[in-house]
Structure 1
Amino acid sequence: MSKRTRRIDYWQAPDAPKPTSRKTSASVFVRDDQGRLLLLKRVDNGLWTIPTGGVKKGETVGQAGVRECREETGLEVEVIGLVGVFSTPDHVIAYWHGDRIDEVRQPINICLRARVVGGRIAPDPSEAAEVSWVAPAELDGYPVHPALRARIDHGLRSTEPYIS
């Protein structure tokens, strides 16, 4: 087994490992003028997602979302609203290093609406294998984890913030 860290997401899985931590992440839901959604393909599990990452000490949730988008896609965004707060215990993430689990996280995600204000698509190869603008009608052709798809679907369907 590879010695690099890999990630396995569980959704509504009774056999999932029990959480050992609870951490906050920020994600950004970004659409272009044609209504397409910004997605990236994760290198650690091969799934498509919106830009997402942990909130670091000393930064706000908004700053974390902006930073993660820049790091993962090369695009500069500004926060313009809230998609919602997603904290369901149905989603658990196991982080493996080699043949052992380092951490099992039950995430708390704050998903922000954002718009592009600069930059160019230039994915960081350690974070994103690919970055693409995807029309909502084409989303079913992209493998997206159910927890992330819930954020995306709510962002497309409603302007009212979701709280779970």
Structure 2
Amino acid sequence: MTRTDYFNDPDAPRPNSIVIAVSAFVLDDEERLLMIRRTDNGYYALPGGRHELGETMTQTVVRETKEETGIVVEVTGLVGIYSNPDHVMAYDDGEVRQEFSICFRARAVAGAPRTSDESSEVVWVPRAGLSDIDVHPSIRLRIDHGFRTDAPPYYT
């Protein structure tokens, strides 16, 4: 399935769904950020995905991070809640989803990087290298907030 992201685009299609999703802001001991390259749109992103029935939100972020990266994480805090109606994702099956994602801080506790159906690349990116990779503005916002450990959680 392919996905097209629209951000502050007046010509974007109107959303027809909303899905609770999570993302993980994970730094290693060298302050490198865990990122994936998404298979559906080619952007680099924080690992994460759809909340499933029967899970807590923290269980979702642990499961999704392991599924997409091979890394097992422990949640340590909240970066923010992102629900910008001007960010929609259009899928080739006709779904047009409004953004709704909860971004958690986490630390790696086990595992080794590996790709999945949703990630063509799993990398630990040094902070100085983040400007060199193709990241959607909504994810860039989460990354900026993740590095601000002195601020309260962000919400929209």
TM-score of Structure 1 vs Structure 2, range by shorter chain: over 0.9
In structure 1, what is the Cα distance between the partners aligned to 2:74 and 2:51?
16
In structure 2, what is the Cα distance between the partners aligned to 1:41 and 1:129?
6
Q: 3-state SS of the aligned residue for 1:76? A: strand
Tell me which residue corresponds to 1:25: 21
Task: Please report how far the alpha carbon of residue 90 of structure 1 lies from its aligned counterpart in structure 2 after TM superposition.
Answer: 1.7
In structure 2, what is the Cα distance between the partners aligned to 1:35 and 1:48?
18
Instruction: Could you list the structure 1 runs, at least 4 aligned residues long, displaced by more than 6 angstroms after superposition.
Output: none
Task: Please report how far the alpha carbon of residue 44 of structure 1 lies from its aligned counterpart in structure 2 after TM superposition.
Answer: 0.9
The runs of 5 or more residues in structure 1 that have no matched partner are none
Equivalences for 1:48-127 in 2 at 5 Å?
48-97=44-93, 102-124=94-116, 126-127=117-118
In structure 2, what is the Cα distance between the partners aligned to 1:90 and 1:36?
30
Task: Please report how far the alpha carbon of residue 157 of structure 1 lies from its aligned counterpart in structure 2 after TM superposition.
Answer: 2.5
Task: Please report how far the alpha carbon of residue 142 of structure 1 lies from its aligned counterpart in structure 2 after TM superposition.
Answer: 0.5
Tell me which residue corresponds to 1:129: 120
Q: 3-state SS of the aligned residue for 2:15? A: coil
Provide the identity percentage: 50
Letter in 1 for 2:63: R
The runs of 5 or more residues in structure 2 that have no matched partner are none
How many pairs align?
Answer: 155
Task: Please report how far the alpha carbon of residue 87 of structure 1 lies from its aligned counterpart in structure 2 after TM superposition.
Answer: 0.6
In structure 2, what is the Cα distance between the partners aligned to 1:47 and 1:88?
19
Task: Please report how far the alpha carbon of residue 77 of structure 1 lies from its aligned counterpart in structure 2 after TM superposition.
Answer: 0.3
In structure 2, what is the Cα distance between the partners aligned to 1:107 and 1:88?
6
Letter in 1 for 2:125: V
Q: 3-state SS of the aligned residue for 1:45? A: coil
Letter in 2 for 1:110: I
Task: Please report how far the alpha carbon of residue 163 of structure 1 lies from its aligned counterpart in structure 2 after TM superposition.
Answer: 0.8
Tell me which residue corresponds to 1:139: 130
Q: CA RMSD in A?
A: 0.9
Does residue 153 (structure 1) correspond to residue 153 (structure 2)? The answer is: no
Does residue 34 (structure 1) correspond to residue 34 (structure 2)? The answer is: no
Could you state the TM-score of these two structures normalised by the residue count of structure 2? 0.96
Letter in 2 for 1:108: F
Q: 3-state SS of the aligned residue for 1:70? A: helix
In structure 2, what is the Cα distance between the partners aligned to 1:68 and 1:61?
11
Q: 3-state SS of the aligned residue for 1:67? A: helix
Letter in 2 for 1:128: S
